[in-house]
Amino acid sequence: MSKIPHVIPYQGSKRKLAQQILKQIRFNNIDTFYEPFAGSAAMTIAAAANNIANRYVIGDKLDALAKLWEIIINEPEKLISDYSQLWKNQLDNPKEYYFSIRDHFNTTKSPTALFYLIARCVKNSVRFNSDGEFNQSPDNRRLGMHPERLKKQALATSHLLKGKTKIFSGDFQDTIKNAKPNDLIYFDPPWEGLTQNPRYAYLLDYESLIEELKRLNNLDIPYLLSFDGICGNRSYVKELPDYLNLSGISLNAGRSTQATLLGRAEITFESLYISPALRNKNSLLTNLQPERTSYQLALFS
Ligand SMILES: C[S@@+](CC[C@H](N)C(=O)[O-])C[C@H]1O[C@@H](n2cnc3c(N)ncnc32)[C@H](O)[C@@H]1O
pLDDT one-digit tens code per residue, 60-113: 999 999 999 999 999 999 999 999 999 999 999 999 999 999 999 999 999 999
- 7 falls within a domain: no
With a 6 A CB cut-off, is 270 part of the ligand 1 pocket?
no
Q: What is the largest CA-CA distance in the chain?
A: 61
Beta strands 223-231; 184-187: pairing state: parallel
How much is the average pLDDT of 227-232? 67
Distance between Cα 291 and ligand 1 center (Å): 31
pLDDT at 298: 31
Question: Distance (Å, rounded) from C-alpha 177 to C-alpha 168?
Answer: 11
The reply to whether 20 and 120 lie within a common domain is no
Minimal CA–CA distance to 11: which of 36, 31, 37, 40?
40
Minimal CA–CA distance to 184: which of 9, 13, 25?
25
Residue finishing a domain among 121, 150, 179:
150
Q: Is the dihedral of CA 93, 199, 17, 24 positive or negative?
A: negative
The reply to whether 182 and 36 lie within a common domain is yes
With a 6 A CB cut-off, is 171 part of the ligand 1 pocket?
yes
- 259 falls within a domain: yes
Question: Distance (Å, rounded) from C-alpha 183 to C-alpha 190?
Answer: 23
The reply to whether 113 and 254 lie within a common domain is no
Question: Distance (Å, rounded) from C-alpha 171 to C-alpha 293?
Answer: 33
Question: Distance (Å, rounded) from C-alpha 199 to C-alpha 196?
Answer: 9
- 226 falls within a domain: yes
Minimal CA–CA distance to 117: which of 132, 138, 96?
138
List the residue whose alpha carbon is closest to atom 15 of ligand 1. Answer: 202
Looking at every residue in the chain, the average pLDDT score rounds to: 88
Residue finishing a domain among 150, 178, 212:
150
The reply to whether 201 and 88 lie within a common domain is no
Distance between Cα 238 and ligand 1 center (Å): 18
Most confident of the following: 24-28, 222-226, 263-267, 283-287: 222-226
- Is it the case that residue 255 has pLDDT exceeding 50? yes
The reply to whether 40 and 185 lie within a common domain is yes
Number of domains in the chain: 2
Question: Distance (Å, rounded) from C-alpha 153 to C-alpha 64?
Answer: 19
pLDDT at 301: 31
Distance between Cα 190 and ligand 1 center (Å): 6
- Is it the case that residue 170 has pLDDT exceeding 60? yes
DSSP state of 200: S
- Is it the case that residue 299 has pLDDT exceeding 50? no
With a 6 A CB cut-off, is 40 part of the ligand 1 pocket?
yes
With a 6 A CB cut-off, is 186 part of the ligand 1 pocket?
no
What's the pTM?
0.90
How much is the average pLDDT of 286-300? 41
Minimal CA–CA distance to 184: which of 57, 17, 271?
57
- Is it the case that residue 300 has pLDDT exceeding 60? no
pLDDT at 254: 82
- 277 falls within a domain: yes
The reply to whether 187 and 278 lie within a common domain is yes
- 261 falls within a domain: yes
Task: Decide if 198 contacts 235 (C-beta within 8 A).
Answer: no
pLDDT category of residue 291 using cuts at 50, 70 and 90: very low
The reply to whether 210 and 271 lie within a common domain is yes
CATH of the domain at 95: 1.10.1020.10
With a 6 A CB cut-off, is 200 part of the ligand 1 pocket?
yes
Beta strands 53-60; 223-231: pairing state: unpaired
Choose the residue to mutate in 8, 175, 200 for probing ligand 1, maximizing ligand atoms within 8 Å of C-beta: 200
The reply to whether 44 and 186 lie within a common domain is yes
Q: Which atom of ligand 1 is nearest to the CA of 201?
A: 25
CATH of the domain at 244: 3.40.50.150
pLDDT at 266: 74
The reply to whether 183 and 285 lie within a common domain is yes
- 109 falls within a domain: yes
Choose the residue to mutate in 4, 35, 37, 69 for probing ligand 1, maximizing ligand atoms within 8 Å of C-beta: 37
Domain interval for residue 98: 73-150
pLDDT at 293: 36
How much is the average pLDDT of 265-277? 88
List the residue whose alpha carbon is closest to atom 4 of ligand 1. Answer: 39
The reply to whether 232 and 125 lie within a common domain is no
pLDDT category of residue 218 using cuts at 50, 70 and 90: very high
The reply to whether 142 and 180 lie within a common domain is no
Question: Distance (Å, rounded) from C-alpha 97 to C-alpha 9?
Answer: 20
Distance between Cα 192 and ligand 1 center (Å): 11
List the residue whose alpha carbon is closest to atom 1 of ligand 1. Answer: 190
Q: What are phi and psi of 109, to 5 degrees?
A: 60, 35
- 36 falls within a domain: yes
pLDDT at 190: 86
- 82 falls within a domain: yes
pLDDT in tens, 174-208: 999 999 999 999 999 986 555 445 455 566 788 89
The reply to whether 107 and 242 lie within a common domain is no
pLDDT in tens, 110-169: 999 999 999 999 999 999 998 889 999 999 999 999 999 999 999 999 999 999 999 999
With a 6 A CB cut-off, is 39 part of the ligand 1 pocket?
yes
Question: Distance (Å, rounded) from C-alpha 76 to C-alpha 81?
Answer: 9
Residue finishing a domain among 86, 116, 150:
150
DSSP state of 124: G
